[in-house]
Copies of this chain bind each other. A is one copy, B any other.
Amino acid sequence: MDINSTSPALVFSALGDDTRLELIQRLLEGTPKSVSYLSRGFNISRQAIRKHLHHLEKAGLIRPTKVGREQLFQIQIEQIESSCKYLEEISSQWDIHLKNLKTLLEDKA
């Protein structure tokens, strides 16, 4: 089983929350960050943030490393990239569809 393969729906659902998108934004800057550090600035509890991090982790969007008493998280960019490809694929299928429609109309005319 490929460790990098998570279902598109799982990844999108992990991305489908404002708090989690904000966490991802914060993880984009600088070095890996701890749960406590990431909790600061939100007005919900550390445990709530930890649950959001679990979602991101399960979807393969972040990766934890234990360092001393801290759990440090960093972005796993591959999942973002493959979700992006998934959406590009939809767009291109739609383009093909529109092109087919157009030829169909021209043939009728």
Contact = CB atoms under 8 A, between A and B. Distances in A.
B13 A12 contact: yes
Nearest to A81: B91
A28 B80 contact: no
A9 B18 contact: yes
A106 to B, nearest CB: 17
A46 to B, nearest CB: 21
Contacts of A83: 87
A13 B28 CA distance: 21
A25 B46 CA distance: 39
A26 to B, nearest CB: 11
A20 B12 CA distance: 11
Contacts of A77: 90-91, 94
A68 to B, nearest CB: 22
Contacts of A93: 28
Interface in A82-99: 83-84, 87-88, 90-91, 93-94, 97
Contacts of A30: 97
Contacts of A64: none
